[in-house]
Amino acid sequence: MAVRTILHYPDKRLREQTQPVTEFNEELGRLLEDMAETMYAAPGVGLAAPQIGVAKRIFLVDIATGENQPSDLRVFINPEIVESTGEVCNEEGCLSFPGVHEEVWRAERIKVRAQDAKGASFELEADGFLAVAIQHENDHLNGKLMVDHLSMLRRRLVHRSMMKRAASEATV
């Protein structure tokens, strides 16, 4: 297992379309282990494969927070949101946007169809924080980012802030 580098906006790889997973093998298992280790080390509650430069339709979510809560790691491979209802606004952050937290509107309840690490299909109905996390990570698989949900003004401000961050990281 290894902690991988998380790509930060404006890295163009965050906008790439992802490809379906077709082989459920040891290589996929190692990728999932690396993704989990990377997500927990960050620390974050979700991580999509494109955020570590892998253009595959995979994301992980673990919304258990706090030291006294057991892990609730969920693996979503080739996910598809098949139903969504309601609307809710929450403050969101993203590992690819360090230090940025913005109000984002999303569906309140969803149904997602996906495959697990062994390739078995499943459906999950989710609401609350889990539904928000799933939608956020699923967006990454389609090259859509948190800032795409913001007003033009907020998007420009976040873009400017992230460009300054990228420039300062490049000079270090």
**Residues recognised as catalytic:** 137
What single string gives the DSSP state of each residue in 76-118?
A: EEEEEEEEEE--EEEEEEETTEEEEEEEEEE-SEEEEEEE-TT
Residue 86, sorted as left (phi over 0), alpha (psi -120 to 50) or beta, turns out to be left
Residue 134 to residue 132: CA distance in whole angstroms: 6
